[in-house]
Amino acid sequence: MSRNARPARASVRSVNYASSPLLASKTPPWRSRFAVALVGLAFAVLLGRAVWIQVIGSDFYQKQGEKRFAHQLELPASRGRILDRNGLVLATSVPTPSVWALPKDFQADPTQRRALARLLGMSTAELDARLEGNPNFAWLRRQVDESVWEQVKALGVKGVHQVREYKRRYPEGEAAAHVVGFTNIEDQGLEGIELRFQNQLQGRDGLRFVAKDRLGRVVEELADQTDAVNGDDIQLAIDSKVQFFAYQRLRDAVNEHNAKGGSVVVLDAQTGEVLALANYPSFSPGGERLSQKDERRRNRALTDVFEPGSTMKPFTAALALDTGRVTPRTPIDTAPGRITITGSTITDSHPHGVLTVAEVIQKSSNVGTVKMAMQMQPREMWELFTQVGLGQKPQIDFPGAVTGRLRPYKTWRPIEQATMSYGYGLSASLLQLARAYTVFARDGEVIPVSILKQEGPVAGARVMKPETAQAVRQMLQLATASGGTAPKAQAIGYSVGGKTGTARKQDEKTRQYVTNKYRAWFVGLAPVSHPRIIVAVMVDEPSKGVFFGGDVAAPVFSQVVQNSLRMMGVPPDIEVKPQILSKPVVAEQESF
């Protein structure tokens, strides 16, 4: 083996590299220049790239680098509270865990997946769908109960985390739902006070700039923290106790008469404050998210307008009194219980014969009211109706309040003037009607209404003489006494006055009045001598055979009045006498 290797080493040493044809051949000059140029170009590219990264595009690359470790954390602001007039909470925000995941780190066996999905109220397919897409972040379930998060945490699923968000709580629930409204998952107001005062309630989030390691742990503060600014509190005129009781009585009445729905408005007669605004059916503002078309969300007291029926008769009588055409004792012959205007006949529920003006209101005579109205010019009636707020959008800090309908007087035909005098041919919301009755409670002045708490009595606009309003108040008191249409409106310990209304509804398609659908109204005030509150009640489509305002709405008025005045500390103005009734109180049948 060694003998064979020796000649090979000798032959290698004997190679003459200088005489190699390959090495001896002349290299073209362009080749070396090309090589040098390539090297120079490479250095130029590297230099340009360095200039681009370090000078021209330095901001971009700096930001990209910061993204790997620097993070901006939001410090959520707490939404302001909504309070009632006494400082009790109607809406507040509480910190609540929201569950999220880092999909690229998510690890769970099938049993853990099923358990996680069950706890978060979803299927495993929905859970998998949420984890797809963005590998760095995915919401699993926002604003869960603390107990739910504790159970999720106990599963030990890698990649699942929680963050604290604020969730809205509504202690009064369904009773005040249409007042406070509600927010969406992003804490934006969608209805009611939450919507109207969104800017004041929402506050301003704070910021925290930190550096995190690869495991997501904060390791350094990179800048000064900007603290969150919580939202402002909003104090309402609503009295939560009055609100709750009004809602309960309304709910009971709607259920008792198998009605479609109803509303109650309670106003402070001195300040115009809305002490209660309740609707039924209602909804849970902190519960399930409702669809845009859900009927329970409709704030009937502000958004629904109706023909107010006989509740308009006191205004017609007031105008006749104020212009000197009649006195409370002026006799009006209503026989034979009907009157024909330009070919159309208006009737009473039954013939009354000769009635005084006060008795026309007490017994709710259509014929007597029309005879007063036809003595007036249409312009006079239109001006009075306008001055008390009909046909005008209510000036109230609340979304959704509607205008109603009151056509210009120049277009009125005689039959339209006649029907408007007793509440047909115009429309109003329950809030508008309650506000209109402030003219009787405030001795001829109509006052603005407010959903926010006011300090002391407010100035009103003069509409009629004080003695006119006082005379009408006495007529309204007669309507709630024996022989009137609403003896069931009487309240224990307090003198009351008010007017019933029973209006036929129109078919939505034919626009014709139907004979089996009604709205029952009652609007009144108490105490009569010095009114402190105005209560308006509407029950829509009572369907158990009883539909008159004096039978359906007046009892709600009675209960709301006596409890509200007690809660407000108003002393009784009439003697409370124990009574044992052997037979039910029968109301005068109302004309409509």
User: What is the DSSP secondary structure assignment for residue 18, as one 8-state letter?
Assistant: G
Query: How many CB atoms are located within 10 Å of the residue 309 CB?
Result: 25
Q: What secondary structure does DSSP assign to 130-185, as a single string?
A: HHSS-TT-EEEESS--HHHHHHHHHHT-BTEEEEEEEEEE-TTGGGGHHHH--B-T
Structure token digits, residue 143: 């604003």
Residue 136 CA, chain-centre distance (Å), reads 37
CB 422 within 8 A of CB 405: no
CB 276 within 8 A of CB 488: no
CB 456 within 8 A of CB 442: no
CA distance 79 to 540: 36
For 68-104, letters b (16+ CB in 10 Å) and e give: eebeeeeebbbbbbbbbbeeeebbbbeebbbbbbbbe
CA distance 361 to 422: 10
Grouping H, G, I as helix, E, B as strand and the rest as coil, residue 530 is coil
CA distance 550 to 485: 6
Instruction: Name 235's bridge partners.
Output: 83
Any idea which residue has 């009632």 for tokens?
A: 84
CB 484 within 8 A of CB 588: yes
Instruction: Name 75's bridge partners.
Output: 206
Residue 268 CA, chain-centre distance (Å), reads 21
Give whole-number Cα distances, 571 to 415, 479, 487, 532, 562, in Å: 46, 23, 22, 11, 11
CB 453 within 8 A of CB 237: yes
Query: How many CB atoms are located within 10 Å of the residue 35 CB?
Result: 10
Closest CA to 561 of 483, 480, 472: 480
Residues 6+ apart with CB under 8 A from 566: none
Q: What secondary structure does DSSP assign to 218-279, as a single string?
A: EEEE-S--B--BPPPPEEBS--HHHHHHHHHHHHHHHHHTT-SEEEEEEEETTT-BEEEEEE
Go through the chain and tell me how many residues it has.
Answer: 592
CA distance 250 to 563: 14
Q: Which residues are catalytic?
A: 310
Instruction: Name 513's bridge partners.
Output: 506
- Between the CA atoms of 152, 153, 158 and 159, what dihedral angle is there, to the nearest 10 degrees? 80
Query: How many CB atoms are located within 10 Å of the residue 5 CB?
Result: 9
